[in-house]
Amino acid sequence: MLNLERLRTLDALARHGSVSGAAEGLHVTTSAVSQQMSKLEREVGQRLLAKNGRGVRLTDAGRLLAEHAARILSQVELAQSDLEAQRGQVAGELRLSAFPTAARGLFPAALARLRADHPGLRVRSSELEPEAGVAGVLRGDLDLAVVLDWYNKPMPLPDGLVKASILDDPADVALPAGHRLAGQSEVDLGDFAEDEWITWGEGEFCHEWLMFTLRSQGVEPRIGHRAGETHTQLGLVAAGLGVCVAPLLGRHPMPGGVVTVPVRQRVRRHVYVVWRADADRRPSIRAAVDALRRAGEAVEQGTRTAAGQDPASGPA
C-alpha cells in the first residue's frame, strides 16, 4: 500500500528539483524528506533517487512513480474539495500570496473579513511576485495567488488554473514636483525619452512590461534605479532621481515632493486571483475570492470618489 504522505514528498521533489526545495515547499526539514524517501524506496523495492553531484535526481522508476503521484494527489485534492463542498463549511487552512502592492492594498481588508466571517479558517499569506505566485499554486504550495497583467501585455496562464478578476488598477506617471511636465493634465510615455526611469527588478513581469511599452513607442528606456516596492520607487522620485509608473493600488500615502500625471493612453493593470481547477469547489477558496473581490470593489470605489465621480456611476 503506497503511503500518501510519501507520495506527496516524491511529488515535491519532482516539482522542486532538490531535497531543500521540497523541504521548503512542504514546510519540513531536509532530513524528514530524506527519511520519507528512504521509506518509500523500501515500500516499492526500487531506487527512486540517485546522486547527482551534491544533489539528487529521480531515477527512471522515480520519474514514473512521480507522474502517478501527481495524478493521485490531484484526485485526492478533488475528493477533499467535494467533501468540503458537501459540508459547506469554510474551515481548515488556506495559503495565499500577492504581489507587494496587492498585499498592501487588498490583504488587510480581505483577510480581516475572512477572520470575522469564518473563524474556523486559518489563513497564511505571503508576498510573492506574480510568476512565483502562479508557480506556487501549480506546485500545490499555495491555494491562491493574487497576480496581474497589463492592458497591453497579458501574462500567460498555465493549464489547470482558474482565475477571477479582482479589479482594474489605473496607473499614472509619478514625477518630482519640479519636473517640466508636472503641471500637465495628461502625458504620453514617449514624453519621457530623456528621463531616467525608476523601475522594477530585472526580469520581473512589470519591468518587462515597461521595457516593451516604451520601446513600442520608439523610446529606448534609460534605467536609473530599480526597486520592487512602489513606495521605494516613489521615495526615489521624491529625491529627484527619476520618474516611475505608479499604479493606484497600494501607493498611498504619497510622499511629499511627488506629483502624478495620468497617461493619455489610460495605462491599467488587471489584478486577478488564480487557483487550481481541482480545488474549485472548496468553500474556503470561494470565500477568499469573495473577500478579495469586495476589497477590490472598495479600492475602485475609493478611486472614483477621489476622482470626484459618483460612486454609484461605475468606472469612467
- pLDDT of 83-98, one tens digit each? 766 566 788 889 999 9
**Strand ranges (DSSP E) for the chain?**
49-52, 55-58, 92-98, 121-127, 144-150, 161-176, 196-199, 222-226, 244-247, 258-262, 268-276
Mean pLDDT of 126-140: 87
Q: Are strands 222-226 and 121-127 parallel, antiparallel or unpaired?
A: unpaired
Mean pLDDT of 8-20: 87
What separation in angstroms does the CA of 186 have from each of 115, 174, 233?
Answer: 42, 12, 21
- Secondary structure letter of residue 156 according to DSSP: P
**pLDDT digit string, tens, across residues 294-313:** 999 998 887 655 544 433 33
Residues 6+ positions from 154 with CB-CB distance below 8 Å: none
The yes-or-no verdict on residue 75 having pLDDT over 90 is: no
For residues 195 and 170, the answer to whether their CB atoms sit within 8 Å is no
* Cα 92 from Cα 103, distance rounded (Å): 22
Residue at grid coordinates 506617471: 173
Environment class of 1 (CB within 10 Å of its CB; exposed 0-12, middle 13-18, buried 19+): exposed
For the chain, the average pLDDT equals: 87
Q: Quick one: pLDDT at residue 246?
A: 93
For residues 30 and 38, the answer to whether their CB atoms sit within 8 Å is no
Residues 6+ positions from 105 with CB-CB distance below 8 Å: 249, 250, 295, 299
Phi and psi for 179 in degrees, rounded to 5? -65, 150
Lowest mean pLDDT among 8-22, 25-39, 84-98, 239-253: 84-98
Nearest Cα residue to 91 out of 283, 304, 224: 283
Nearest Cα residue to 277 out of 159, 107, 156: 159
What separation in angstroms does the CA of 210 have from each of 172, 214, 215?
Answer: 13, 6, 8
* Cα 142 from Cα 70, distance rounded (Å): 16
Nearest Cα residue to 134 out of 122, 124, 149, 147: 147
Angle formed by the axes of helices 283-306 and 60-87, nearest 10°: 70
Nearest Cα residue to 95 out of 284, 294, 280, 271: 284
Residue at grid coordinates 551534491: 54
The yes-or-no verdict on residue 17 having pLDDT over 80 is: yes
Mean pLDDT of 176-201: 93
